[in-house]
Amino acid sequence: MWEQLAASLTDGLLLGFVYGLAAMGLTLIWGVMSVINLAHGPVIALGMFGTYLCFTHLGLNPYLAVVLVAVLGLPLGFFIYGVAVHRVINAPHLSSLLATFAVNMIIIGVGTAVFSTSPQNIDFSMGTLEAGPLTVPGTRLVAAFGAVLFTAGLYLFLYFSRPGKAIRAVANNRRAAELMGIPSSLILALSFGLGTMLAAAAGGLIATFFPFTILSGGSYELKSFVICVLGGLGHPLGALFGGLIL
């Protein structure tokens, strides 16, 4: 019984790091612009398929593919922000909900037409790590380590780079930041891009050990909302601890 409990606890903690990364993008967007992003789940699913396509068609190592998918997630976030979010940024919350839900439906509709709803998986193994009674898949360990690296990168960016400090300033007081010469529209777009990048990266990591479809993002979006509440809504680094608690 204790061995089973230890195995479940270890597995849950490793998954928690990746789920925390998925929620980090959602809570970052909320913390900076007070927008509940209902397109978060489909972006996670796009990250899964992006990693899958890079692995199967380009022959890339899936973890290198995750980095590429994350990089591509940044301009995708800029695009979504410019098309759907920018015009409702100061509107009531219902307007932003409807705008991001429309993006949600578009991604799912196009994704279903392109990829169908048949489950896919990334057939990649990194062996297992055995420590006494515990047997941990290598893919879980690497995914958890990757989530920690992305979290550390976000922390360093937000606290030690000029754009990161501008993001924090806009999150604290947008009008005061504008009076100090910070271009709030550009910073909001950057924040949405970073949130999209983190969601895509999390999707790519999840795809290395779970099968997925274009509809899979919905369940991870729901988990992300729960994690945001556990870790403190609007606090990106708290999302990691929320993921571990979940």
Q: Give the pLDDT score at 167.
A: 93
The yes-or-no verdict on residue 140 having pLDDT over 90 is no
Q: Which residue has the tokens 């920690």?
A: 148
Asked if residues 26 and 40 have their Cβ atoms less than 8 Å apart, the reply is yes
Averaged pLDDT score across all residues of the chain:
89
pLDDT at site 42: 95
What pLDDT does residue 239 have? 87
Q: Which residue in 41, 46, 49 sits closest to 22, CA to CA? A: 41
pLDDT band at 1 (very low <50, low <70, confident <90, very high): low
Q: Tell me what percent of the residues of the chain surpass a pLDDT of 90.
A: 59
Measured in Å, how far apart are the chain's first and last C-alpha atoms? Answer: 21
Let me know: does 1 contact 220? Beta carbons within 8 Å: no
> Mean pLDDT across the stretch 99-128?
90
**CA 145 to the chain's CA centroid:** 15
Instruction: Tell me the average pLDDT across 95-120.
Output: 93
The answer to whether 29 touches 195, Cβ cutoff 8 Å, is yes
CA 132 to chain centre: 33
| 238: its two tokens | 């708290």
Q: Comparing C-alpha atoms, which of 215, 166, 205 is closest to residue 20?
A: 205
What pLDDT, on a 0 to 100 scale, did the predictor assign at position 38? Answer: 92
Determine the 3-state secondary structure of 219 from DSSP.
helix
For the stretch 191-232, pLDDT in tens is 999 999 999 999 999 999 899 999 999 999 999 999 988 887
**pLDDT for 46-88, tens place per residue?**
999 999 999 999 889 999 999 999 999 999 999 999 999 998 8
pLDDT of residue 51: 95
Q: What is the pLDDT of residue 138?
A: 79
